[in-house]
Chain A
Amino acid sequence: MIEQVAEPLQQTGFAKVVLELDVNNHAGVMSHICNLFARRAFNVEGILCMPMANPEKSRIWLLVFEDQRLEQMVLQLEKLIDVLAVRRHGAEHEVFERLERFFH
């Protein structure tokens, strides 16, 4: 049918946000999460994933920019069957900071 003329989305935010996800540890989880961000045109600046002490679970850390769609992204993440919990941290969280020396 006809194209919708979209009202431009404001991508105002420049503040960084760190998202901490607990997920089921099996093949395919990463593709569900990356695909979700990609298909909603929401940039992921950094991503980190490791199995947890309990090897049935993994933890994923995402570094994203705050913008008005973030609330919607978190709700969408929470809908993924393999995502067990999503926690939000400010940019001051050290997880990515401590890795920075590997990226210079």
Chain B
Amino acid sequence: MMQMTGAELIVRLLERQGVRTIAGIPGGAILPLYDALSGSELIRHVLARHEQGAGFIAQGMARVSGQPEVCFASSGPGATNLVTAIADASLDSIPMVAITGQVPLAMIGTDAFQEVDIYGMTVPITKHNFLVRSAEELLEVVPQAFRIAMSGRPGPVLIDVPKDVQNQRIAFEAYPEPARIQRGPAPDEAAIEAAATMINEAERPVLYLGGGVIHSGASQLAVTLAEQAGLPTTMTLMALGAMPMDHPLSIGMLGMHGARYTNFVLEESDLLVCVGARFDDRAIGKAAQFCPNAKIVHIDVDPSELNKIKRAHVAINGDVTDVLERLLPRVQVKLRKRWLAHVEGLKSRLPLQMPGRDDPRTHYGLIHAVAAALDDEAIVTTDVGQHQMWVAQAYPFRRPRQWLTSGGLGTMGFGMPAAIGAALAAPERTVVCFSGDGSLKMNIQELATLADHGLNVKIVLMNNSSLGLVYQQQNLFYGKRVFASRYHRAPDFLKIADGFGIPAVDLDTAANPRAALAQALGTPGPCLIHASIARDEFVYPMVPPGGANTEMIGG
């Protein structure tokens, strides 16, 4: 018979689940759990400076490890501060378990101090959530939360634990088994056969990879499929790295800021093989005009994604790895010389334009200089805005989980705490966070967390003294009526870094920016690398709002 409090039980169950790092911030309603955590010899706690930071640190760890990672917050404002990070995890299908303290059971519903209905608030942004009513329930709820977070399409799960439940003593016979991934039913063989026939018979097929390929660990299989069947391959923002950018079959990222040739190749395709992607509006533009002549094969672990936006001729529900393993032996080897030559022709006529790519004082040049100073082991995170799109376009991603970005929610403030999480999960790697001066300020307090741990995180701040992507849209689509998108006073980011105890380098004043950059990136530990970017550099090409992908402007 084992005896312990609910709080101790949570800590033991997390340990048994293999959790080794938890990010969070304590407060009254979660103090019993923190007290129990202080006794853990296996779990390290990372004290964030804002709960949103803690949520993104957990996400950064999860995006690198592929395992559910954990964050803690207290009741009330602690819990509401987590909401954005949970919603972000939901839209990008990131496995995460958020544990919040709650006022004691008897006080729920009394508008008690720091009481909010975080259970109710997180219904629409979690895969599932729990309000725990007794310590005994924890024996079931904690492993179930992990199983849900990691099985099928991953996602965030919230467990709200009232303070008295944390303090309640229970006795039980044995610990439950740690959660493991629950596999879904085997995919439909007849549908796989039909998909293989369509691929074998197509003349102008395109492979369209989404984040599901990364989550499923199926990148290698996807590349094999492309090579075997001679499929030009495009990736969504979430799938960058699934196929190396410089692979001869890669046609880069599709969609709103994809290269012109990529969107034109899709336009001409007669078969679209969509693997772990969800026809998001940023990727496909106007749905009715996307791939107008293509039949569609759609493979996804989430049945509700099939036929949601585009009706598939063959829809296969299943884990992408399972399906590709069964599909590959049925797919004929094809060279597809004519189609691939045509794709090459489009690529050379309508490539991605990268003006200034050899000058490290320009946006594309800076990104290339960073890539040149690093190898494929490095991890790249971004915030949200122009800098994010430029990095997505220009950085030579070559492996899955090399690239962490907030895709579905597009959350400014994601980049730096996610980089901290990445560095905690993979301390041997260099982590680079490309940020904008707007985004960096959204979670700038996490510089203190970064300094605490001395992690190998390099923040490359592309400073255009503006909310660049907003400024761009006002210039292009709102008659140049620039409003609320320019900053009139620029903070001194070098002093800010210094104030947090983080070394900083200014590329603007460096005599040799390339050398200064390489040195900063090569020195272990945190560093802020500041570079000014002209405000009137825009992200091109661009599909205007509501337009079809072939109606791009610029670039």
Contacts and interface: CB of A to CB of B under 8 A. Distances in A.
Contact of B545 (A4, A76, A79, A81): A4
A5 B308 contact: no
Interface string B379-396: 000000000000000000
Interface in A66-83: 71-72, 75-76, 78-81
Contacts of A31: 120, 123
Interface residues of A, number: 20
A39 interface: yes
Contact of A35 (B124, B288, B545): B124
Decide if the interface of chain B is mainly helix, strand, loop or mixed.
helix
Nearest to A80: B128
Interface stretch (B64-72, B299-307, B438-446): B299-307
A78 B303 contact: yes
Contact of B281 (A4, A35, A39, A75): A4
Contacts of B545: 2-5
A35 B128 contact: no
Contact of B304 (A1, A2, A3, A72): A72
B410 interface: yes
Contacts of A39: 124
Nearest to B308: A72
Interface in B7-50: none
A81 B128 contact: yes
B483 interface: no
Interface of B: 119-120, 123-124, 127-129, 131, 148, 281-282, 286-288, 302-304, 307-308, 410, 469, 473, 477, 545-546
Interface of A: 1-5, 7, 27-28, 31-32, 35, 39, 71-72, 75-76, 78-81
Given A28-B131, A81-B148, 12 more contacts: A1-B410, A2-B473, A2-B477, A4-B546, A5-B546, A7-B287, A7-B288, A28-B119, A32-B123, A35-B123, A39-B124, A79-B302
Which A-B residue pairs are the 9 nearest by beta carbons? A5-B546, A75-B304, A2-B545, A81-B128, A35-B123, A4-B281, A39-B124, A76-B304, A75-B303
